[in-house]
Amino acid sequence: MIIRAKQTTTDEEFEHLKETITNMGFQVKDISGETFKVIGVVGDTSKIDERTLYSIPGVEEITRIQSPYKKASKIFHPEPTVIHVKGVQIGGGTFTVMAGPCSVENHDQIVSIAKDVKASGANVLRGGAFKPRTSPYAFQGLELEGLELLKEAKEETGLPIITEIMSEDMIDKYVKDVDIIQVGARNMQNFHLLKALGKIDKPILLKRGLSATIEEWLMAAEYIMAGGNEKVILCERGIRTFEKYTRNTLDLSAVLAIKELSHLPVIIDPSHSAGKWSMVEGLSQAALAVGADGIIVEVHNNPECALCDGAQSLKPKRFDTMMKKLRLIAPIVDKKM
């Protein structure tokens, strides 16, 4: 960390600054030049709250050198993390496809979609049981019954299942029943939930918050990893911008940023990004081309009657066509599918 003092800082104030930092347990290196008074702070500065440092008289500018996240950082873990779930690989050169309805609605719906997406080559079945809806009057998911139906679809197809967790009290049940636990965009900064998920041994799909920066997203991953659970998969699902034509704006560059900053696998959700089924194929191809480790896509056998997100759901046939095209592209970008 580098701290630059104001030009008006007196020698006395500058000495006080150095003393304060030393008393916090850090080594202070005076690297002042002719015009500026500057110190370098050596040590693990991750616990320092820079907003507090700005209260020390004379402090003008604080620059962090160290990233605030460690376990999620590539610096401390250069080789990419590869996660294995029930024979499915996520990361490490594979393009993993998770597909299924936004919400589990009934036995026939989830089993029929599971069979279809499996036949098309999907690796993991998605389906919401507990739904984080904007309106309390909207369909909230089948909850525990939805989980049971997902298990039935898993039994019939052999596909591992991913579903969203909304609260800490469900963790034990999810550890038993679910293969990948999804943390939705709205819960990305539910730090109590993240801490609790850090204590279990189960892959977590961490969606990027609606307005989260890449650093905030990686800090959320750090919350899980700090507890000991290092099986985190990141998911870019579009962010809020001024644009209204799409539901969210897919930040494709986030994949490249994550690859530069972190060793964690990162996948794309083209469905919640676009909000329109007609864009899902193009965005999925883009995900593959940009180097994402996979996608999570909404597929519904009867989108017009879907209880949630029908407009962005692919019909099984379109999903199948999309998968065929993705399989053609994959070798060109060095991905296994």
Instruction: Kindly list the residues in this chain that would bind Mn ion in the complex (CB under 5 A).
Output: 102, 309
Pick between residue 5 and residue 287 the one whose CB is nearest to Mn ion. Answer: 287
8 A C-beta contact, residue 267 and residue 287: yes
CA 208 to chain CA centroid, Å, is 5
Q: 3-state DSSP call for residue 251?
A: coil
Quote the least distance from Cβ 306 to Mn ion, whole Å: 9
Q: Which is nearer to ligand PEP, 48 or 267 (CB)?
A: 267
Contact 232, 72 (CB under 8 A): yes
- Encoded one letter per residue, x for contact with ligand PEP by CB under 6 A and - for no contact, window 146-175 reads ------------------x-----------
**268 contacts 284 by C-beta, under 8 angstroms:** yes
Smaller CB separation from Mn ion, 105 or 309:
309
Q: Does residue number 207 form part of the binding site for ligand PEP (CB under 6 A)? A: yes
Token pair 């080559």 in the structure block, residue: 121
Measured CA to CA, the distance from residue 160 to residue 331 in angstroms comes to: 25
Q: Does 247 help bind ligand PEP (rule: CB under 6 A)?
A: no
Out of 93, 132, 158, 282, the residue judged to bind ligand PEP by CB under 6 A: 132
93 binds, among Mn ion, ligand PEP, none (CB under 5 to 8 A by kind): none
Total chain residues near ligand PEP (CB under 6 A): 11
Phi-psi region of 93 (alpha: psi -120 to 50; beta: other; left: phi over 0): left
The site partner of 207 among ligand PEP, Mn ion, none (C-beta below 5 to 8 Å per kind) is ligand PEP
Gap between the Cα atoms of 212 and 188, Å rounded: 9
Applying CB under 6 A, which of residues 100, 128, 141, 146 lies at the interface with ligand PEP?
128
Confirm if 57 and 150 have CB atoms less than 8 A apart: no
The dihedral through the CA atoms of 20, 21, 24, 28 has a sign that is: negative
Q: How many CB atoms lie within 10 A of CB 106?
A: 13
Q: Which of 154, 231, 237, 259 binds ligand PEP (CB under 6 A)?
A: 237
- Which stretch, 49-57, 165-173, 179-187, 277-285, contacts ligand PEP (CB under 6 A)? 179-187
For residue 241, the minimal CB distance to ligand PEP (Å) is 15
Residue 263 found at the interface with ligand PEP (CB under 6 A):
no
